[in-house]
Structure 1
Amino acid sequence: MISASDLPDTIPIFPLPGALMLPRARLPLHIFEPRYLAMIEDCMKSKTRLIGMIQPSETPLGEKRLHKIGCAGRLTGFSETEDGRYMITLTGISRFRVREEVQGFTPYRRCLVDWAAFARDLSSEEEADPGFDRESFFALLHRYLTALNLSTDWSNLKEAETELLINSLSMLCPLSAEDKQALLEAPTLTTRRETLVTLMEFALRGGAGEDLIQ
């Protein structure tokens, strides 16, 4: 278990559009770019083995930036393919706020980060959502997945604890990068669930003024 005192001031950053990491959730990744292969190798030598997942963004003028809030995952699974690619699993530890990007000699990006606003993420206890209505949520989810012609293992999904259910769906649903950033920044599990519900309902209405998804 990583404590607040273990969290480093500077972490490697993996900007990956649409990839959402959340505390206590697991994210599998396929690593093949040379700079990120080097990042994984350096990560495995570090004490905490943390990598910061973050959404890249683009200004109206086309300038590429990083969102201010990301989530760090600890490298908990690793295998190497015969052709030198890495298959890894990150387990979410805590969200962070980017203070500034660090210039240096690594081929990958690094950032000076602040963890203070997300101390609750480090808890080993799952977060609760007292107002969660599972029946109505699953009815909406069924309509949403059916409309998108997506299938799922309903038996496992319905048996999942609330936090795992909401966070897994937030990570796996085919949402835009900006929508996933909104889910990441949700201050509580209740807010994340409400945001997810709103996004699914919006999609079923066809988005901005389009026809209803059938």
Structure 2
Amino acid sequence: EKVKNAEEGQKVSAAAFTKTRKDMEVIDAKNKQLEKELAEAKASGSAVALEEAVKEMAKLRTELDTAKAAVTHSEKAKAEAQAAQAEAAKAKEEAKALKEEVKALKKAAAEEAASRKQSAGLKEEVKSLKKPAVAPAPAGAPADGDAQDEEKIEKTPADYDILKEKFTKLKEMSDNLNGKNKEYKQNNKTLEK
């Protein structure tokens, strides 16, 4: 909208500037003609002709001053239109950058959701490893049953270390995403200002 208004403003300013320049040329030509007539009136000693020429010149000077003011106004309007156009272009770039940032944030949010889902699955897996299923000991052979339970428990710490490593990576990802989220919110507040 700003770009459109700026372009319209430039067209109007350019048209007004051209018209004012032409008006000034006409006034200048009339002024020169009057100066000539005034000189002739002075030479001939005609008081009436001299008075009329002076009045006409005063009128032309007023018109010339008005035309000059119009030119100044036109130039100011042109500068304002150019400034508005530059501001609109800047706003457009900022909006584009914000759009990309929002897109990146959505992607990060999706990654975080997937990370949480995976984390929940790992927690369940850890629970199952912390409490391994104990097979009932066969009747008359309790010693063998105890040996089997001990064998299962010996495998648990290694599996737990793998899961712990996965948890550490997931936590790093989560912290990174949280940092990006805070940065985005701060940037958003700055843009709103």
Task: Write 1 or 2 for the structure with the bigger share of strand.
Answer: 1
TM-score, length-scaled by structure 2: 0.15
Task: Write 1 or 2 for the structure with the bigger share of helix.
Answer: 2
TM-score, length-scaled by structure 1: 0.13
Question: Larger C-alpha radius of gyration, 1 or 2?
Answer: 2
